[in-house]
Structures are given as C-alpha cells and as structure tokens.
C-alpha cells in the first residue's frame, strides 16, 4: 500500500484545492473527497439554465464594460476605477508592472503569493516602519482571518500617502461584507484593491477578478492585458451573478450561519477556531499534523502550513453530509 505523504510537503501547503495529490497520497480514503482546503464558497451561485454564452466570437467590449459597471456597483465604487482581470491571483502578480513604488512589502502572515510578489515582509503590528514603497495586505487576511475595520484601513492609506507610498488591499474574501471597497478614500488616492469573483460566488474555475484603482493604474492594467482580458463565459456569468442581489444577500447570511455551525463542531472536539471571514476558519493546535493526516485518511482535505506546523485551516462543509463526515472523522481522534 502507498504511504501517505507528510503534510509538511509543499504539495498541500502551497495552496488549497490539491485533490489530485490527495487521491494519490491517500488511495484508500473514502470517496467522494470533501475539499475543505480552500476558502471557496461550497454552495456556488446557481447558473440559470437559460444563461447561454456563445464562445465563438471574441468577447464583446460593450459586454465587458457592462460587467465592470455591475461589479463596480457591487463594490461601491465608480466603474472608471474598475478593471476585470482573469482572477485576482493574476492581479497580484501584475502588481510590480502597474507603476506602484518599490519595494513592495507584504504584511505577514499572509497569502503565499503576497510573499512571492513582495521583496520584503513585515508583521502587521510593525507596518509603521515601512517608509514609502507599497504596503500589501489582505483584508480579511488569509490564512488567519484577521479583519481591519475601515478606519484602520484609511489610517494606513493616509500614512502611506504621507510617505510617498501606496497601499494595496487584497479583498479576495471581502464580498461576504456589504461594505464598499477601500479605494473609496478618494479620487486619486494611492490605494489599490483586488477582488475575487470565484471565492464568494463559488466559481473559482471561471477565473475572474477585478482591480479597483485610480485611473492611471487602470490604464496601465488595460495596456498590459489588451482588449480581451477575460473570457466570454466570465463576462456572461459575472454580469448575471453580480446583478443577482437576492442570491448575494441570502448567501451572506447563509455563510455566516454555516461558519457558526463549523465553529461549534470544532469546539466540541477541542479545537478553537478563529477568523472574521465566514469562508474559512484557522485552528491552532499542537497536533495539527496528526489531525491533517487523520482527516486525509477519511477523505477530507484541509489546508496545512509549512512554516506553522500548529496551524490547520478549514473551509466550509457544503451540506449536512459533509458536516457529518467531518464530525465523525474528528471524533476518531
């Protein structure tokens, strides 16, 4: 029989969603696998049966503009500050090419790509020592779910501006909150935000995201991506999803309720969860390695961390069946 991979290997720690690796590492685990390794909504936006997208012609520039207008309304900003990108991951990697001042400094702990994009890292409690450059933070933060309120974000933005620097806020998990995006601080404020379509709407494979920024940054981005930055399917589904206010409002409530249910379950098994984002929870426990392995053998993938062996992140189970399997697997310890 194949030996299970150690959770310390980067296959599982680099990012979530590695079900193929899990299948190889735990060939005897029950099927289907339950993927709790991401922060993606497990109950995706239901695509209407009549929503047809013709993939033959090039995407319509008018339809793209309409998508950006609808998304801007959702974000609480003006459409001229919004540009669609093929996923917020791409937006992060394009950041050094958008004319922001260097160095890029990531507030840690944070999403792995932040460290790859940034040349320096600093703890959030020590950001006052950042002198200019571009400060990159996530809000809510990944993986610990830390959330800064708008007053704190405005303070950071103004402090960076006073020092000739910029603030970039990765808002990939922010759609669970109806509050507007951070660039509402001013017309030409040196602030950029990034949004992800896939996480809240549960359709990560569409590869759609947005940059929200001053016009000069939007112009630089359009120059890099050209006339067709995203697919016709991303445009068609994105337009309909962002306009579905009833589903958005109901989902915000449902995600909070599901997160509370997860918190209660974890607590029953002696695991204290933290995080302000209802899309995921972080558990800090000395036996996190053993818990990861136990869940893997039960066909449940969670998210480990190489540099914090005592951390384990849980996404949301999709339904009663997934909650039940997780409950039983945790009880076997």
Task: Report the pLDDT value the prediction gives residue 184, as an integer from 0 to 100.
Answer: 63
Average the pLDDT over 189-214 and give the result.
96
Task: Report the pLDDT value the prediction gives residue 14, as an integer from 0 to 100.
Answer: 67
Contact (Cβ atoms closer than 8 angstroms) between residue 191 and residue 165: no
For residue 327, give the H/E element and its range: helix 320-331
Average pLDDT, the chain: 92
Q: Where are the beta strands (DSSP E) in 112-270?
A: 120-123, 134-138, 166-170, 191-196, 209-212
Is pLDDT of 116 > 50? yes
Average the pLDDT over 219-236 and give the result.
97
Question: What kind of fold does domain 61-243 have according to CATH?
Answer: 3.40.640
CATH number listed for the domain at residues 10-43+246-331: 3.90.1150.10
What is the share, in percent, of the chain residues with pLDDT greater than 70?
A: 94
Is pLDDT of 280 > 90? yes
Contact (Cβ atoms closer than 8 angstroms) between residue 211 and residue 219: no
Is pLDDT of 10 > 50? no
Task: Report the pLDDT value the prediction gives residue 185, as an integer from 0 to 100.
Answer: 56
Q: What are the structural domain ranges in the chain?
A: 10-43+246-331, 61-243
Is pLDDT of 9 > 60? no
Q: Please report which confidence band the pLDDT of residue 13 belongs to, taking 50, 70 and 90 as the band edges.
A: low
Task: Report the pLDDT value the prediction gives residue 8, as an integer from 0 to 100.
Answer: 42
Average the pLDDT over 51-70 and give the result.
96
Q: Which residue has the higher pLDDT, 324 or 15?
A: 324
Q: Please report which confidence band the pLDDT of residue 7 belongs to, taking 50, 70 and 90 as the band edges.
A: very low
Contact (Cβ atoms closer than 8 angstroms) between residue 283 and residue 266: yes
pLDDT digits (tens, 9 = 90+) for 132-155: 899 999 999 999 999 999 899 999
Average the pLDDT over 205-228 and give the result.
96
Q: Please report which confidence band the pLDDT of residue 127 belongs to, taking 50, 70 and 90 as the band edges.
A: confident
Q: Which residue has the higher pLDDT, 162 or 14?
A: 162
Q: Please report which confidence band the pLDDT of residue 307 belongs to, taking 50, 70 and 90 as the band edges.
A: confident
Whole-angstrom Cα distance, residue 42 to residue 45? 10
Task: Report the pLDDT value the prediction gives residue 15, as an integer from 0 to 100.
Answer: 67
pTM above 0.85, yes or no: yes
Average the pLDDT over 229-251 and give the result.
98
Average the pLDDT over 189-200 and give the result.
96
pLDDT digits (tens, 9 = 90+) for 166-178: 999 999 999 999 9
Looking at the DSSP bridge assignments, the partners of residue 269 are none
Is pLDDT of 89 > 70? yes
Give φ, ψ of 4 to 5 degrees: -70, 140
């Amino acid at each position: 029989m194949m030996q299970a991979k150690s959770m310390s290997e980067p296959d599982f720690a680099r990012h979530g969603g590695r079900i193929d690796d899990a299948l190889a590492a735990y060939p005897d685990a029950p099927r289907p696998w339950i993927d709790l390794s991401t922060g993606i909504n497990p109950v995706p936006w239901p695509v209407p049966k009549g929503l047809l997208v013709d993939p033959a012609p090039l995407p319509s520039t008018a339809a793209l503009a309409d998508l950006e207008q609808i998304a801007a309304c959702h974000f609480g900003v003006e459409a001229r500050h919004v540009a669609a990108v093929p996923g917020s991951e791409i937006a992060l990697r394009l950041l050094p090419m958008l004319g922001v001042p260097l160095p890029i400094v990531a507030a840690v702990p944070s999403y792995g790509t932040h460290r790859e994009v940034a040349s320096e890292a600093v703890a959030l409690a020590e950001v006052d020592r950042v002198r200019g450059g571009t400060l990159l933070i996530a809000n809510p933060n990944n993986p610990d779910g830390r959330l800064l309120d708008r007053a704190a974000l405005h303070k950071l933005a103004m402090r960076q501006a006073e020092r000739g620097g910029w603030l970039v806020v990765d808002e990939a998990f922010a759609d669970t909150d109806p509050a507007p995006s951070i660039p509402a601080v001013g017309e030409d404020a040196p602030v950029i935000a990034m949004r992800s379509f896939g996480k809240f709407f549960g359709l990560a494979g569409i590869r759609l995201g947005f940059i929200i920024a001053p016009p000069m940054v939007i112009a630089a981005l359009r120059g890099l991506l050209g006339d067709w930055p995203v697919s016709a399917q991303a445009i068609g589904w994105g337009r309909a999803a962002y306009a579905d206010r009833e589903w958005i409002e109901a989902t915000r409530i449902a995600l909070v309720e599901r997160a509370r249910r997860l918190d209660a379950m974890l607590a029953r098994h002696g695991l204290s969860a933290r995080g302000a984002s209802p899309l995921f929870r972080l558990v800090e426990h000395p036996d996190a390695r053993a818990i990861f392995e136990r869940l893997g053998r039960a066909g449940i993938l969670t998210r480990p961390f190489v540099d914090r062996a005592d951390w384990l992140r849980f996404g949301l189970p999709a339904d009663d069946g997934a909650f039940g399997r997780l409950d039983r697997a945790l009880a076997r310890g």
